[in-house]
Structure 1
Amino acid sequence: MPSTRTEAAFQRAVAAFKDPTLDLLHGRTAPFVVAMLSVMFTADRPAVAVADAHAELGEALDELRAAGSEDDDQRLPAGSARDICRGWVRGGWLVPQLEGDTEVYRLSAHAVGALDIAGRAGTGGTKVSRSRVRTLLDSVDRLASDAEADPERRRGQLLAQRAQLDAELARLDAGEAVEPDEEQLLEEAEHVIHLARELPADFARVAESIKAMQRDVVAELRRDVRPTGEILREYLQRGQHIMRATPEGRAFDGALRLVGDPESIDRLAEQLRDLLTQPFTHRMSPAQRDDLDAIGRRVEHGVQEVLTAQRRASHVITAQVRTHDPARDRQVDELLRGAMAGLHRWMQTSRATDRVEPVRAFPTAGVGHLRETLSDLRPPSSPAPLTQADGSVELVDADTRAWGGPHYRQLEEHVAGLGDRFDLAQAFESASDATRRPVDLVGLLEIAHREGMTEHDEISIVEALRPDGTTRRFAFGAVTASTTRNDDD
């Protein structure tokens, strides 16, 4: 803990100068950085493709070096445009992002704040003006009015406001001319421009706070070993209410109610267009007119940037929860750390001209032969031929042969003695008891189909005799068949 006020103030100053905003401003190449960032990124161009940024920065370096701008007060950075942009990313001034299939650069909140400080310093700094004091007094008056809990005092304040408005309406109704003070209008316009310059940094801080919370949630989720159901409930709820989870997000959520709908943005743009047609704006510099005209676009781009960051964070957190696998995440982290360690060792011994051949395919195991089966199911020799069994078969238990399939040979002999054509039902009824089983009816129908049968509309009914002596009746369409066999059969 600091022991004196001086020591505490010094420590606060040291911490402040570690911030990327002040680091950008007090660096050796700060004028070049501020100039290039302000040229490449405008209200109409909040994001720049990486390839375009490198090309524009390279052209600017060549132009400044050819003009002899590398003196002691205006030193230019060394290296290529690509290396300079990478340094700005490491310094926290540029943020690379993917928009569709294109990688782009965006200004960080620190860079926007630094550009705002440099812009105010270049225009002579802030001035104590009537508009600034009135803004302060109006803000204090509004705060006091909103905080007033006494109904009578609140009613008195509203009546006073109404009386003031009625007096102004009476002057207008009386035909009193309105002559605005151009000096006052210019002063208020400068104050509006000053307030608008702070908006991009505020929007960027909100977006970066959401991204930081997204990284924290994902990192915590990867370290988590709690049940999946608990993780889903907590993190999905946190992802859905991510805007209310940070102080910047809560502040933006309140401001979004004022300018979040398209009608508010359109009304703001219309008011700014009307202002630019007023006579007093001709006394403003072209840069001030551009800044005034760009206010609506800055607000629209800032709101869109925050909402995009919110949607992306919710998507990333939801996808991480759905695919959460602690064991796999630890394995991937170990593989990445191993790859980074190997690259670090290689960089210590490699030269600038060394190349690393990419792994185009995974190596295969040199296995000569894989065993196909556990055993050979083929018999060592051909089986012995089947022998024709005689009628004297010794059965271990009851004779179940009568429950087998149709007796085709006996049925064919029976059908052969019925003439050239026969009725299937009559042929079945005239057969012996041994060949009048239900299964024999099926066999007789198969023989009739093979020999050539004709179906009729009449219904035939037969009674089959089972081997156990029970009977069963079957009904089917009448069938007649021929007993003349083909030569091929």
Structure 2
Amino acid sequence: MLDLLHRRYAPLVVSLLSLVFTPERPTVPVAEAHTEIGDALDQLRARGYEHHADGTRAIPLGTARELCRQWADVGWLKRQIVDGDVEVYQLSAHAVGALEVAGRAGGARARISQSRVRTLLDAVEQLAQDADPDVLVRMSRLDAQVRRLQDELARLQRTGTVEEVGDDVLLEEAENVLHLVRELPADFARVAESLRAMQRDVVTALRQDERPSGDVLREYLERGQQVMESTPEGRAFSGALRLIGDPQRIDELSDQLDVVLRHRFTSRLPRQQRAELRDVARRIEQGVAEVIKAQRQASHVIATQVRNHDPLRDRQVDELLREVMVGLQAWVPTTRRGQDVDPVRRLPVAEVAHLRQTTSTLRDPEPPAPLEAWDDGDDDGDTEPDGVAREWGGPHYAELREHLAAYAGPSGEADLAAAFGAAPERIRRPVDLLGLLEIAHRDGMEETGRVALVEAVRPDGSRRRFAFEGVTVRTHGRHEKDGTDHE
């Protein structure tokens, strides 16, 4: 991590990676990363930041693709395949630590406070309790703790008041919490990288085949099943997971953070620190999910290698590659351009099952055959199939408008509920009530302030009652056909 921070262009790299990789986006597709970093470099060059005041370069030469490749080589970035075929960039554990160091250096300065000292004393006290096996000492400490809690409970019951803590003290405690939270991403990243390194070691040992196959397969299969217990980081994470892996504990943490953020002292915190407090639970969940994902991937790769491990085939491949390299080293220095190359006869031949022998036809596709007449088996035979579908369809706008105009008469005004109640049952469906309200809204309506009740009839004969605010509608000058007739 310190080696990365001491490199020549470390300030630029830290700034760009902080923009591209965020807690909400820990992995970025390779193409998107190249595009975003390239845009950022172009903006810096356009504003004249390509050189320092002393004439030295502030931005390295090369495209964003070349810079990302260099950062991957030195350890800033890691490339991996996700979802089968998507190649992404991810910050290495050292890069996460470097960004955290840079963030702390640019933020509020850590200082000795009551909260930080209390955290230290509580940690030492817990360490002493775990290290001391004396039962009597443990019992005396628990008795003293119970007495303190009982005294506090009695005081609350007697006075009914809680001693308020000053805003300055609360600010110190919040800064201490943020200081502890900033260490988590780097810790989670180190655990995930340790799991991936163990995966590579296991696969390499399996391919070398230096021990009997049975012993190797049995030992590494067990190690793959218990991958979290095979490294110091994994064991430490397993212990932490037992504390924070409980969903109820995460929910309690979110509720406690909500209580803190509602307090008045948080208004004195910068917006960035308030956002960090709000995202504590989510960042913990993301870190745990990242480690579990690395664990599952390591177990899958190891199990796949165990199932497909074939020492004879691997040895043949190694011998073929070695023969090809030796042949190239002997052939290249003594050849000329255009000279024929003798093939390596031992390379396996591709097994092709079948090749297409004809091309596809160039004729236009023929239209589909017409649909055949189909009898739906209607017993009564009174209603056509399309008629049944129409009765269950949308409003009959044209008939509704004609009925409304006839009901209004010469005055041109009508009560909508009364007009609907006087309509024939064929246009007194629930959907026709909605169509009548839509026509009234377009023609101009006035609310009466009273509740209107109507009874609608469905095509199957069932009835439904509806209540709505009564309206009167004017039909003068509105006899033209509705352009949205859906019959």
TM bracket, shorter-chain basis? 0.5 to 0.7
Which amino acid counterpart does residue 70 of structure 1 have in structure 2? E
More divergent stretch after superposition (152-161 vs 125-134): 125-134
Using the alignment, how far apart are the partners of 1:88 and 1:80 within structure 2? 12
Q: CA RMSD in A?
A: 2.7
Q: Does the aligned pair in 2 maintain the 1:205–1:248 contact within 8 Å?
A: yes
Alignment counterpart, residue 98 of structure 2, candidates 110, 114, 129: 114
Alignment counterpart, residue 107 of structure 2, candidates 113, 123, 126: 123
**Secondary structure, aligned partner of 2:88:** strand
- Distance change (3 Å), C-alpha of 1:310 and 1:61: same
What residue is the counterpart of 1:214 in the other structure?
Answer: 199
Using the alignment, how far apart are the partners of 1:348 and 1:83 within structure 2? 31
Alignment counterpart, residue 21 of structure 2, candidates 33, 41, 60: 41
Matched, 1:272 2:251: no
Per-residue Cα deviation, 1:41-60 (whole angstroms, up to 9, x for no partner): 11111111111111110110
**Equivalences for 1:338-377 in 2 at 5 Å?**
none
Using the alignment, how far apart are the partners of 2:291 and 2:309 within structure 1? 26
Matched, 1:317 2:317: no
What residue is the counterpart of 1:89 in the other structure?
Answer: 72
What residue is the counterpart of 1:297 in the other structure?
Answer: 282
Alignment counterpart, residue 65 of structure 1, candidates 22, 45, 48: 45
Per-residue Cα deviation, 1:297-326 (whole angstroms, up to 9, x for no partner): 221111111111111111111111111112
May I ask how many residue pairs the two structures share in their alignment? 333
Using the alignment, how far apart are the partners of 2:236 and 2:329 within structure 1? 43
Alignment counterpart, residue 168 of structure 2, candidates 183, 192, 198: 183
- Distance change (3 Å), C-alpha of 1:339 and 1:109: farther
1:233: how far off?
1.5
- Distance change (3 Å), C-alpha of 1:340 and 1:128: farther
Alignment counterpart, residue 172 of structure 1, candidates 156, 168, 176: 156
- Distance change (3 Å), C-alpha of 1:85 and 1:344: farther
Which amino acid counterpart does residue 190 of structure 1 have in structure 2? E
TM-score by length of 2: 0.64
What residue is the counterpart of 1:152 in the other structure?
Answer: 136
Per-residue Cα deviation, 1:383-412 (whole angstroms, up to 9, x for no partner): xxxxxxxxxxxxxxxxxxxxxxxxxxxxxx
Using the alignment, how far apart are the partners of 1:273 and 1:348 within structure 2? 72
Give me the identity figure in percent.
59
1:189: how far off?
0.8
What residue is the counterpart of 2:82 in the other structure?
Answer: 99
Which amino acid counterpart does residue 210 of structure 1 have in structure 2? L
Which amino acid counterpart does residue 81 of structure 1 have in structure 2? A
Using the alignment, how far apart are the partners of 1:44 and 1:114 within structure 2? 18
Q: Does the aligned pair in 2 maintain the 1:29–1:75 contact within 8 Å?
A: yes
Which amino acid counterpart does residue 108 of structure 1 have in structure 2? S
1:246: how far off?
0.6
**Secondary structure, aligned partner of 1:176:** coil
1:231: how far off?
2.5
What residue is the counterpart of 2:446 in the other structure?
Answer: none
More divergent stretch after superposition (298-307 vs 257-266): 257-266
Using the alignment, how far apart are the partners of 2:132 and 2:9 within structure 1? 52
What residue is the counterpart of 2:32 in the other structure?
Answer: 52
Q: Does the aligned pair in 2 maintain the 1:46–1:301 contact within 8 Å?
A: no
Using the alignment, how far apart are the partners of 2:147 and 2:272 within structure 1? 40
Using the alignment, how far apart are the partners of 1:345 and 1:181 within structure 2? 81
**Secondary structure, aligned partner of 2:306:** helix
Using the alignment, how far apart are the partners of 1:290 and 1:341 within structure 2? 60
More divergent stretch after superposition (163-172 vs 339-348): 339-348
Per-residue Cα deviation, 1:48-99 (whole angstroms, up to 9, x for no partner): 1111111110110011111112232781122111111111111111111222
What residue is the counterpart of 2:431 in the other structure?
Answer: none
1:259: how far off?
1.1
What residue is the counterpart of 2:293 in the other structure?
Answer: 308
Q: Does the aligned pair in 2 maintain the 1:43–1:294 contact within 8 Å?
A: no
List alignment gaps of at least 5 residues for structure 2.
Answer: 335-346, 351-487
1:341: how far off?
8.4
Using the alignment, how far apart are the partners of 2:309 and 2:211 within structure 1? 11
- Distance change (3 Å), C-alpha of 1:364 and 1:262: closer
**Equivalences for 1:422-433 in 2 at 5 Å?**
none
What residue is the counterpart of 2:12 in the other structure?
Answer: 32
Alignment counterpart, residue 226 of structure 2, candidates 241, 263, 277: 241
**Secondary structure, aligned partner of 1:117:** helix
Q: Does the aligned pair in 2 maintain the 1:89–1:96 contact within 8 Å?
A: yes
**Secondary structure, aligned partner of 1:221:** helix
1:271: how far off?
2.3
1:294: how far off?
2.1
Which amino acid counterpart does residue 112 of structure 1 have in structure 2? V
Q: Does the aligned pair in 2 maintain the 1:225–1:326 contact within 8 Å?
A: no
